[in-house]
Amino acid sequence: QSALTQPPSASGSPGQSVTISCTGTSSDVGGYNYVSWYQQHPGKAPKLMIYEVSKRPSGVPDRFSGSKSGNTASLTVSGLQAEDEADYYCSSYAGSNNFPYVVFGGGTKLTVL
Amino acid sequence: EVQLVESGGGLVQPGRSLRLSCTASGFTFGDYAMSWFRQAPGKGLEWVGFIRSKAYGGTTEYAASVKGRFTISRDDSKSIAYLQMNSLKTEDTAVYYCTRDASLRGAVAETPYYFDYWGQGTLVTVSS
């Protein structure tokens, strides 16, 4: 049972937009602006796509955007491309009292139709 | 360019030990906390533990599932982080990744809050 809740799957056609949700609590997502998103292609390592809710690391296309409202964060992929098909994991800082200080979602498999 | 390369994985019998290495390049290794994650086949990501930078004592913290069996250490002179795994169980079978951590730094604590670079992973299979 993951600490953050993500839909197991999402899909969209090339060129469309798709949004993946990540629901936590006031102790994690809702309490800090420290949500991050990772992309993982099959057999590959995760790659940071979004940090601090909406910031993109250098090299990440601006088709990827992040947002947050209350206890739910979202990753939106605009102008879907075939190479966006992957698993996406959200995570959130959950405070510094006890390990783990960062909690994760169970992942969402994004399919480009 | 930041690079992290894990090594040391393989097939090991239950109850035995294995040490993984994570060799870093492209950044000042000693300035960063480093973590180990694992991913069992078909499963999500599990944060195994991390080691703080020497500026924060190089202390370590672990997931409950590995506490007392796994030990993380670092050699800043070689830019290598290690994961020593003892008393391995079949449920430890996974791909193991090391990461460079982005951390919140206070007067006394360094706490990772996201993971900006990941190695390619190394497979550990625990089976008789």
* B47–A57 CB contact, under 8 Å: no
| β-pair partners for B102 | B114
A83 DSSP assignment: G
Three-state SS annotation for chain B = CCEEEEECCEEECCCCCEEEEEEEECCCHHHCCEEEEEECCCCCCEEEEEECCHHHCCCEEECCCCCCCEEEEEECCCCEEEEEECCCCHHHCEEEEEEEEEEEECCCCEEEEEEEEECCCEEEEECC
Task: Identify the closest residue of chain B to A91 by CA–CA distance.
Answer: B114
Q: What is the pLDDT of residue B8?
A: 98
* B113–A48 CB contact, under 8 Å: no
Q: What is the pLDDT of residue A2?
A: 85
Please report the residues numbered 69 through 88 in chain A whose beta carbons come closer than 8 angstroms to any beta carbon of chain B. none
Task: Identify the closest residue of chain B to A56 by CA–CA distance.
Answer: B116
Q: What is the pLDDT of residue B108?
A: 82
- Closest-CA distance, A15 to chain B, in angstroms, reads 28
Q: What value does the mean pLDDT take over residues B67-73?
A: 98
Spatial contact of A62 and A113, defined as CB atoms under 8 Å apart: no
Extract the tokens encoding B30.
């000693």
Q: What is the pLDDT of residue A66?
A: 98
Contacts of B18 (CB under 8 A, 6+ apart): B8, B9, B10, B12, B85, B88, B124
B123 lies within 8 A of chain A by CB: no
pLDDT digits (tens, 9 = 90+) for A18-62: 999 999 999 999 999 999 999 999 999 999 999 999 999 999 999
- Least Cα distance to A67 among A57, A78, A75 occurs for A75
pLDDT digits (tens, 9 = 90+) for B19-60: 999 999 999 999 999 999 999 999 999 999 999 999 999 999
- Does the pLDDT value for residue A69 go beyond 90? yes
Contacts of B81 (CB under 8 A, 6+ apart): B21, B22, B24, B34, B36, B51, B72, B73, B74, B98
* B44–A100 CB contact, under 8 Å: no
- Give the closest of A45, A100, A105 to B97, CB-based: A45
| C-alpha separations of A19 from A51, A67, A79 in Å | 16, 10, 12
- pLDDT range class, residue A96, cuts 50, 70, 90: confident
Give helix then strand counts, H and E, for chain A: 0, 9
- Closest-CA distance, A77 to chain B, in angstroms, reads 20
Averaged pLDDT score across all residues of chain B: 97
